[in-house]
Structure 1
């Protein structure tokens, strides 16, 4: 009896040791599996941890941008905030010359996107940029008429007809300077019923039927939908505007500002901009 009891005791001990070893192995395997799963869930296909860039960016970035960029930049701003929780993109849209004057006057801003190199130079010449301006899109002019084009405008010369109420951007604004360049190249003289401070204001005059036509950008005609009708003219090819963007020297949120500029220049940003009618740089 004593021998059998001892044998049973030894067998029980061996069984417990094997069971304990198996349990330890299972725990180790479970831990590895859990770790692998966590790694897989937190990483994207590029191997970067999801949310890692988002966690590094926070706060508000202020962007001063040409009025013609309103629709595209608003879309990009929303996408940026979604991709980087904790950030906020605020915009100030207007005539590039007015925005440049505000920046040189000390208005708080992080990024400046102008509708021409000339207006950007107002800021760069004063040492107001932290990075060299980079052209990110181009824009071409188009004539905006009332829906259905009741005045049968088909050329730039048609805008000089007596009795036709035409609106232009002010010559200090990129769209106005480009329009004047096209008119000068064609040897045409045009006296508008008003000069507007930015392209959106010029377009609004036609939308409200306060003017019969306006020279604006193709992007603005497209953004207006059926409120206006666009008329292309060949002289616009000689007056295409380059749009530069730059980080400002006095930027308060440099990291977020750089990330927004990167989005604008990225394939995703370019897709939004060209979809709105802008030309590639």
Structure 2
């Protein structure tokens, strides 16, 4: 009888434990796993290849995106658009590509490294960056041909370089630059350092360097407007986040930040 009583008690305890576990698993008030970060990413590094002229605006947007996506880090690679396309063609891994012109984005599409259809999110145009106070008295594009001036431009394959060439063609003015740089920030740096008297840069670059250089706007720049397209990279390691970032740039916050630094609306 004692053995039987012990067995009955053991069975009762086991049944009670199972009942308790079943209640815990079905209890609607039971605690659950933490919710993922906004966008469902849960964290990670988003790699964005962006034209050098986007540095200031995208840095600001990157911080805003990180704030909205706890655990996510946005890593930027800023270079000339042509150099970034070459990296992608060579197999470099990135999530988003933002070009300073349509031509380089088209190359990326044709090279099979872009997923989906790129979307233009902003426009930009050239201006002349000069030393503070404009000591050389530059007032127009044609003034850049004056003797004694050291002028720098972007290389032909770089968007700001192709825009410069378009202005030259439209105006019939041929420049004789002291150097051709691989991205617009290198042109700006030479003007800031005093190595050049003037340089062809984007309005946004001159705006970001306000207080360090002056800018001379010229009407002929309107004939060489650059469209800025953005797209998700094919086989992006963070494809979902990449789509969210492109949507963010195309949205209200993106437009506000880009407008603030001088970018024009998409056309």
TM-score normalised per structure 1: 0.81
Structure 2 partner of 1:93: 78
The structure 1 segments of at least 4 consecutive aligned residues displaced by more than 4 Å after TM superposition are none
Instruction: Flag the structure with higher helix content.
Output: 1
> How do residues 1-281 of structure 1 correspond to structure 2 at under 5 angstroms?
54=38, 56-57=40-41, 58-281=43-266
Which is higher, the Rg of structure 1 or of structure 2? 1
What SS class does the counterpart of residue 211 from structure 2 fall into?
Answer: helix
What SS class does the counterpart of residue 130 from structure 1 fall into?
Answer: strand
1:183 and 1:232 map into 2 onto residues whose CA distance is 15
- Aligned pairs, how many? 232
1:200 and 1:268 map into 2 onto residues whose CA distance is 25
Shift of 1:250: 1.9
Shift of 1:233: 0.4
Q: Is the 1:62–1:111 contact (alpha carbons within 8 Å) kept by the matching residues of 2?
A: yes
Shift of 1:56: 1.1
Instruction: Give deviations 1:115-149, integer Å, cap 9, x for gaps.
Output: 00101111100111111010000001100000000
Structure 2 partner of 1:17: none
Shift of 1:52: 6.4
Instruction: Give deviations 1:47-86, integer Å, cap 9, x for gaps.
Output: xxxx766261221110000000000001000111111101
Q: Is the 2:37–2:70 contact (alpha carbons within 8 Å) kept by the matching residues of 1?
A: no
Shift of 1:184: 1.2
| Backbone CA RMSD of aligned residues | 1.2
Structure 2 partner of 1:22: none
Q: Is the 2:37–2:71 contact (alpha carbons within 8 Å) kept by the matching residues of 1?
A: no
TM-score normalised per structure 2: 0.85
Could you say if the C-alpha distance between residues 264 and 55 of structure 1 is closer, same or farther in structure 2, counting changes exceeding 3 Å? closer
Q: Is the 1:101–1:122 contact (alpha carbons within 8 Å) kept by the matching residues of 2?
A: no
